[in-house]
Amino acid sequence: MKTRITELFGIEHPIILSGMSWISGPRMVAAVSNAGGLGILATGPLNADLTRQAIREIRLLTKKPFGANASLLFPGAAENAKVLLEEKVPVINFALGKGDWLVKAAHEYGGKVVATVVNAHHAKRAQDYGADAVIATGHEAAAHGEAVTSFVLIPSLVDLLEIPVIAAGGVADGRGLAAALALGAEGVAMGTRFMTTKESPLHAHYKKLSIEKGMMDTLYSTRFDGLGCRVLKTDAAERALRRGLDLSAAFFNSREIAAQLRMPFLKLFVGVLASGWKSARQLAFLANAFKAFRVATEEGDSERGLLPVGQSTGLIHDEPTVKEVIDRIVAEAVQVRTRLDVAI
């Protein structure tokens, strides 16, 4: 199955692993790339040294193309992004910030850069400063989609842009891939489907929940991490929705983040205060969310943890290997295309 995305990245199938913090690590990235897709390393929870170590581990596990992401709003993201450039990562995916400097530097060594966007304004801006493609995140997606669903967002961006569009949100099987291609996308990025696979480090408790829960079992709000964010519906998620921002918890959680990123806490704290109330409030939300996301993913704690998942959790009924997922999706998409050719 060839598209502009497979040609651009040098991959076999137009299927991408979304960069999910604490999940899209070296083993997951390599599994997706080895199966013919494009794995993307999540650098959000990593400091610069751990990012470099993860990239080098991926290169020991696969000789296929891979990518890594940088969420530019997060503390330490710029330092991680510089490591991606130094290590000449083949595909860099950025979000939540202006990545023109990333595009320029990556293109100097032949790398490709993909911007994750949620609306036309951000998509057009990414194209204008040279991004090679965009990942368009619909409302159905885990974590940070906005108000427009994939079925509308994808064709609107395809009409607007000249660079390829990759669909994210609502895709978990071959029907979703076929639909995305029919809407004009050149590929799909999946997180929720991949997090419930054999290679995924997601805690077994949440893998079980992701299979049991339906498409109505998610919550979307700005009260989880300060951005529009979709998570699995649990008692902890409903409490977080009612509570909103807990500033005292944010103070202690930010100390943990500073230690994790090997950043002096005083430097982080002063920088947050100096950024102004709006930015400080956002970073406080993120501090609490990072802690909640980590304890869900690593510890399986559904009393304190929050797990970003998309509505496509209602389409997940098993825990296959990554290769089985990709092979199945490609075969289903081909069957759909054949059926439509006959019907038309």
Picking from 3-12, 92-101, 198-207, which range would have the lowest pLDDT averaged per residue?
Answer: 92-101
Whether 91 contacts 64, CB under 8 Å:
no
> Contact 95/69 with Cβ under 8 angstroms?
yes
Tell me what the pLDDT averaged over the chain comes to. 91
Domain assignment present for residue 19? The answer is yes
What is the average pLDDT across 78-107?
A: 95
CATH number at residue 190: 3.20.20.70
Asked if residue 166 and residue 261 are part of one domain, the reply reads: no
Is 312 among the domain residues? no
Please check whether residues 81 and 184 belong to one and the same domain. yes
Beta strands in the chain (DSSP E): 15-17, 39-41, 66-71, 91-95, 112-117, 133-137, 165-168, 187-190, 218-221, 229-232
- Is residue 277's pLDDT more than 60? no
* Same domain for 124 and 21: yes
Structural domain containing residue 283: 214-299
**One domain for residues 193 and 250:** no
**Do both 181 and 227 map to the same domain?**
no
Contact yes or no for 141/230 (Cβ under 8 A)? yes
Structure tokens at 15: 């299927």
Banded pLDDT at 327 (limits 50, 70, 90): very high
Within a domain: 306: no
Distances (CA, A) of 31 to 51, 53, 82, 262: 18, 17, 25, 29
Judge whether 206 lies within some domain: no
**Rg for the chain (alpha carbons), in Å?**
19
Quick check: 116 and 135 in contact, CB under 8 A?
yes
CA gap 47, 249 in Å, rounded: 22
The model's pTM? 0.92
Residues 106 and 237 in one domain: no
Domain for residue 311, yes or no? no
From CA 188, how far away is CA 173, in angstroms rounded? 10
